[in-house]
Chains A and B, each alone.
Chain A
Amino acid sequence: MTATLPTAEETRVTTTLESPTQAPVAAGATPAPLVRRRRRNKLTSYLLPVVVFAALIGVWYAITYLFLEPGKRFLMPAPHTLITDALLDPVITDKVWPALGRTIVVSFAGLGIAIVIGMLWAIAMSQSKAVEASLYPYAVALQCIPILALVPLIGFWFDFGFESRVIVCVMIALFPIVSNTLFGIQSVDRGHHELFTLHRAGRITRLVKLQLPAALPAIFAGFRISAGLSVVGAIVGDLFFKKGDPGLGILLSNFSSRLQGAPLFFTIVVTAVLGFAVFFLFGLLAKLAVGRWYDQSRDAG
């Protein structure tokens, strides 16, 4: 039989019911101020941070030129000297840009390894209560032990080069991936589970078709946190493991010990920008992966 059922009416009814904005637009009165208010909000949300930024730069100049004697200005070099004495100085930038590249390589290598280990760890725990009971305390321990206390040991065992820096990144970035992946998998709707049970879905099918897709928003939230942490890990690793070519952490330490104020501040800004870039990159990736169906505004992300 091909009884085509009358959905057209229902669709029409529901669309008018569900888009209340359409009616007032026709009526003309209320929506205009509504739109204007929203636009003003958008403007202020861009404008206010800029104003604050300008104020901070002003305070910075005031400290440099009003409070510091000329001989001590290396402690807080004026903002424009970051450009003139660092960004435009090839001697400095020839050190900073390659160091930035190496820090990126270290943090992404660490993050990549943390993602693989962390997700496998969480998936293993999600599949068996016994595995969860035996392994979860170690995930928490990883979070509780100050990693910095282990850093010298890592150097002791794995030498003071690239590998040790990556290991520090992995250790710092691991926990959010484990906990978010596990949380995401365990938060799957009970009705969905029953649907899969009813139709005799196997463990792997359930994992691939239900648990992992449902967990993706939480998993990506974990990636984002861990990405930021892995940058921190790369810098910290640098400070301890100085063998081989320097990353940003080594440069920070060198510039500060040589009292090179402008290059030091410039490197700090580069580090901050790297942190922002990584944060936004993973926000974007999450949006591309799950934004189609998952409303991120729901978890204040």
Chain B
Amino acid sequence: MSAPAPTAPPAATGTTVLQFTDVARQFPDGTVALEGVDLTIQRGEFVTVVGPSGCGKSTLLRIASGLDEASAGTATVDARRIGYVFQDATLLPWRSVQKNVELLAELHGMSKTATNQAALDAIELVGLRGHEKKLPRALSGGMKMRASLARSLTLDPDLFLFDEPFGALDEITRERLNDELIRLFVAKGFGALFITHSVSEAVYMSTRVLVMSGRPGHIVDSFEVPFGTDRTPELRFTPEFAKLAGEVSHALREGHS
């Protein structure tokens, strides 16, 4: 897998940021976690992978991020910077919200003033203004996730990877964060690879839904999502939404059996 090229200029919508060709991953104990995965993501695409637990979704994401490597095939990432949002907010408990949001910019060696400004902007963007000085322990689960999102936003990534980021949140908070993430996506135009086990979340968020099945993990079906970018919660109750969600669920069951 080639390393992200840090010097490339900001890419326009439509640039390929992630390309998997026949990617496989076999663990040393012999388990095949992924097999024959082809996947292309461009800027301005929000691709969601939905599948049962243990089907290799997370492995897919870890290979995309560089935390893991493909044992066969090629995984190419062509992004200046990658945002990665974990299932846990992974905030450092001794740092305030402001300092947590500044962390990645710090690690990437941005200047102090640029770091500070990027953090302030990101905090504004996720709606955490007024909470900058709080410690993570004083935040609700939803607010922690916003802080985690803001932390990645400071890097202005071309590719955003999400590993079931809202899985631990209650439904109301989760749906609100879905809407906010869509707004961020529309505004920034990054490419996104989003892992979830919720069909409804997958259909609501994405431009494309991939259905995965396990043993070994492979993509069994792909659905283009026809809804525009101005999605509102009411969309979830339309017949079109129900139909597509039904098809995705069906594919999920088919692949599972």
Q: Do A and B come from one complex?
A: yes
Given A14-B142, A191-B88, A198-B82, A293:B126 Cβ within 8 A: no
A-B contact count (CB 8 A): 82
Q: Kindly state the separation between the CA atoms of A195 and B66 in the bound complex, as whole angstroms.
A: 11
Measured between C-beta atoms, what is the minimum distance from B55 to chain A in Å?
21
Measured between C-beta atoms, what is the minimum distance from B77 to chain A in Å?
12
Scan residues 200-259 of chain A and give those whose CB is less than 8 A from a CB of chain B.
Answer: 200-201, 205, 209-210, 213-214, 216
Given A4-B127, A7-B143, A11-B143, A213:B92 Cβ within 8 A: yes
- Say which residue of B84, B92, B127 sits within 8 Å of A198 (CB atoms): B84
Given A10-B142, A191-B86, A210:B187 Cβ within 8 A: no
Scan residues 40-67 of chain B and give those whose CB is less than 8 A from a CB of chain A.
Answer: 65-67
Residue of A nearest to B136 (CB): A293
Contacts of A214 in B (CB 8 A): 92, 94
| Contact in complex: B104, A199 (CB < 8 Å) | yes
Interface size on B, residues (CB 8 A): 36
Measured between C-beta atoms, what is the minimum distance from A48 to chain B in Å?
33
Central interface residue in A2, A6, A10, A216, by most chain B CB within 10 Å? A10
| Contact in complex: A1, B187 (CB < 8 Å) | yes
Given A3-B183, A4-B124, A13:B107 Cβ within 8 A: no
Contacts of A293 in B (CB 8 A): 93-94, 135-137
Measured between C-beta atoms, what is the minimum distance from A195 to chain B in Å?
5
Check if A292 is an interface residue, CB within 8 A of chain B: yes
Check if A294 is an interface residue, CB within 8 A of chain B: yes
Q: Kindly state the separation between the CA atoms of A192 and B94 in the bound complex, as whole angstroms.
A: 13
Check if B129 is an interface residue, CB within 8 A of chain A: yes
| Contact in complex: B104, A194 (CB < 8 Å) | no
Measured between C-beta atoms, what is the minimum distance from B130 to chain A in Å?
8
Contacts of A209 in B (CB 8 A): 103, 106-107
| Contact in complex: B172, A13 (CB < 8 Å) | yes
Check if A66 is an interface residue, CB within 8 A of chain B: no
- Say which residue of B66, B94, B127, B137 sits within 8 Å of A5 (CB atoms): B127
Check if B146 is an interface residue, CB within 8 A of chain A: yes
Contacts of B92 in A (CB 8 A): 192, 210, 213-214
Contacts of B117 in A (CB 8 A): none
Check if A197 is an interface residue, CB within 8 A of chain B: yes
Given A1-B187, A198-B67, A6:B93 Cβ within 8 A: no
Q: Kindly state the separation between the CA atoms of A194 and B84 in the bound complex, as whole angstroms.
A: 10
| Contact in complex: B187, A3 (CB < 8 Å) | yes
Contacts of B229 in A (CB 8 A): none
Residue of B nearest to A213 (CB): B94
Check if A105 is an interface residue, CB within 8 A of chain B: no
Closest 10 CB pairs of A and B: A5-B127, A14-B140, A7-B127, A1-B187, A191-B90, A199-B107, A293-B94, A293-B93, A5-B180, A213-B94
Using a CB–CB cutoff of 8 Å, the interface residues on chain A facing chain B are 1-7, 10-11, 13-14, 18, 189, 191-192, 194-201, 205, 209-210, 213-214, 216, 290, 292-295
